[in-house]
């Protein structure tokens, strides 16, 4: 059985365990969109005690603010009514452990193709968080920029620390 087959079985178990599932709306019950890293150690639902439908979660390597993230946040705000953004970076991130050239070389060796995009590596977690918060606040595509806040999640303790 592949890992995907195992996940499909887990999905069937989950569906069977739901009692009277209510119809969820695409609009989250909390007007919050979260951007975080794809790191498997980050379980946003558990870290913040969430239920299905509570908020929008966007993930990419490093929790980077990219054009596509801004597109998704703009849609979240305009169509689904979110007005707060939580940017959550984390300790022990791979993008802080590798340099830009090193990561590019690794990807080129693995794929045979040279990456055309930035890898987004960085050296200072707090400064990277502040820089991405500035990108969000300066984006002309976002309607609600007053409530952009940045955090670092300690992957060991799961404690969120605000970056100011």
Domain coordinates of the chain in residue numbers? 25-163
The predicted pLDDT at position 24 comes to 76
Q: What is the pLDDT of residue 21?
A: 67
pLDDT in tens, 86-101: 999 999 999 999 999 9
Q: What is the pLDDT of residue 160?
A: 98
The CATH number given to 25-163 is 3.40.1050.10
pLDDT one-digit tens code per residue, 17-53? 887 767 778 899 999 999 999 999 999 999 999 998 9
In whole angstroms, give the CA distance from residue 102 to residue 97. Answer: 10
Q: What is the pTM of this model?
A: 0.92
State residue 9's pLDDT score: 95
| 111, burial (CB in 10 Å: exposed 0-12, middle 13-18, buried 19+) | exposed
């Amino acid at each position: 059985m592949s890992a995907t087959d195992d996940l499909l079985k887990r999905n069937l178990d989950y569906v069977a365990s739901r009692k009277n599932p209510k119809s969820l709306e695409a609009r989250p019950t909390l007007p919050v969109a979260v951007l975080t890293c794809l790191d498997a150690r980050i379980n946003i639902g558990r870290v913040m005690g969430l239920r299905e439908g509570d908020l929008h979660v966007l993930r990419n390597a490093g929790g980077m603010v990219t054009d596509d993230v801004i597109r998704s946040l703009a849609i979240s705000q305009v169509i689904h009514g979110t007005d707060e953004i939580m940017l959550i970076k984390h300790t022990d991130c791979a993008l802080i452990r590798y340099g830009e050239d090193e990561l590019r070389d690794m990807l080129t060796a693995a794929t045979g193709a040279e990456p055309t995009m930035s890898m987004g590596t960085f050296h200072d977690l707090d400064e990277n968080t502040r820089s991405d918060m500035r990108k969000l606040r300066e984006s002309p595509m976002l309607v609600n920029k007053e409530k952009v806040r940045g955090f670092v999640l300690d992957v060991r303790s799961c404690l969120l620390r605000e970056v100011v």
